[in-house]
Amino acid sequence: MKKKVVVIALGGNALIGAGQRGTMAEQFENVRKSLDGIIHCLREGFTVVITHGNGPQVGNLLLMVEACRNQVPEISLGVCVADTEGAIGYMIQQALTNRLRKEGINRCVVTVLTQVIVDKDDNAFSHPTKPIGPFFTREEAHRFRREKGWQIVEDSQRGYRRVVASPNPLKIVEESAIKTLLKAGDIVIAAGGGGIPVIMKEDGDLEGVDVVIDKDLASAVLARDIHAHCLMMLTSVEYAFLNFKQPNEQALHRLTVKDAQKYLQEGHFPPGSMGPKIQASINFLDWGGERAIITSIDKVKEAMDGRTGTMIIKG
């Protein structure tokens, strides 16, 4: 992998836009619209790895699981993550393959179902905070707590939801396979939805766990493990901001790791939105990456040229 490697993390809005139902036709169309930046990076000579979110898709799948609870065997959260990683990978893989043919670029696109190791002793297991799946009534919440042992909390006064742990990702299991594909010149889609969470048992066996891994943090681990030069996280806004949506909001164009850490600790980046992207950037640069970029899906070319977006560098 002599060429520079960029990991491009597509946010959830790349697949399901605001106000959309999330039909398959909508998702395919949204994926097609998100490919310009990837094509630009390929034209510039980068080796490209794509990651993506899966929050809406997992939520929809869990709704289906709940609706069929008494008709078919229940599917675990880990398997739901694997299902959506494969399905979304297929959508991106097909759309990108078609676009490459039209652009005259002869490259193969490969989706790798990616297992991501987490620490079974991570403190997050004792403090589940990530809401998933459908809303329940108070009575259903009590029953599921009793029957399934789920942690369930009231969510935004709209009902009750299951919460699961979100431990830190440690290592990409399929690292070697991804590197081999990249050396062969392929474009790889990996670590979708943060990857399939697994723990390593004392005998070395892997075992799935019903938690979720943040997509941006997993993307940083993947970028580290494959020695990427750049981590680009694409979302619905062009910049990271201080005082976001306040009268004194300030777009951040260029940040050092030190400044990013300072602003993160001051609470400028909420944990449910920009916070993980800033933390992933810090992690990636601390691990040896060259730069991290946060911008919108339609601004990849300008952000790669340093003309827009938030660029985070060492220092």
H/E/C letters for each residue in the chain?
CCCCEEEEEECHHHCCCCCCCCCHHHHHHHHHHCCHHHHHHHHCCCEEEEEECCHHHHHHHHHHHHHCCCCCCCCCHHHHHHHHHHHHHHHHHHHHHHHHHHHCCCCCEEECCCEEEECCCCHHHHCCCEEEEEEECHHHHHHHHHHHCCEEEECCCCCEEEEECCCCEEEECCHHHHHHHHHCCCEEECCHHHCEEEEECCCCCEEECCCCCCHHHHHHHHHHHCCCCEEEEEECCCCEEECCCCCCCEEECEEEHHHHHHHHHCCCCCCCCCHHHHHHHHHHHHCCCCEEEEEEHHHHHHHHCCCCCEEEECC
**What domains does the chain contain, in order, with CATH numbers?**
1-32+45-114+172-228 (3.40.1160.10), 235-315 (no CATH)
Where does the pLDDT of residue 156 fall: very low under 50, low under 70, confident under 90, or very high at 90 and above? low
| Annotated active-site residue in 54, 277, 283, 299 | 277
Catalytic site residue from 12, 59, 159, 208: 12
pLDDT score recorded for residue 230: 97
Q: Which residue has the higher pLDDT, 17 or 184?
A: 184
pLDDT above 70 as % of the chain: 98
Instruction: Supply the pTM of this predicted model.
Output: 0.92
Report pLDDT for 314.
93
Is a pLDDT exceeding 50 seen at residue 1? no
- 48-82 residue pLDDT tens: 999 999 988 888 888 888 888 889 998 999 999 99
- Tell me whether residue 12 is one of the annotated catalytic residues: yes
Catalytic residue among 215, 283, 289, 309: 215
Asked if pLDDT for residue 107 goes beyond 60, the answer is yes
Is the pLDDT score of 269 beyond 80? yes
Q: Is the pLDDT of residue 2 over 60?
A: no
pLDDT, residue 300, reads 95
Q: What is the pLDDT of residue 259?
A: 96
Would you place residue 175 in the very low, low, confident or very high pLDDT band (cuts 50, 70, 90)? very high
Q: Is 277 a catalytic site residue? A: yes
Active-site option among 13, 30, 54, 283: 13
2 is catalytic: no
The position carrying tokens 């789920």 is: 150
- Section 31-46 average pLDDT: 95
Of 4, 120, 130, 301, which residue is the catalytic one? 130
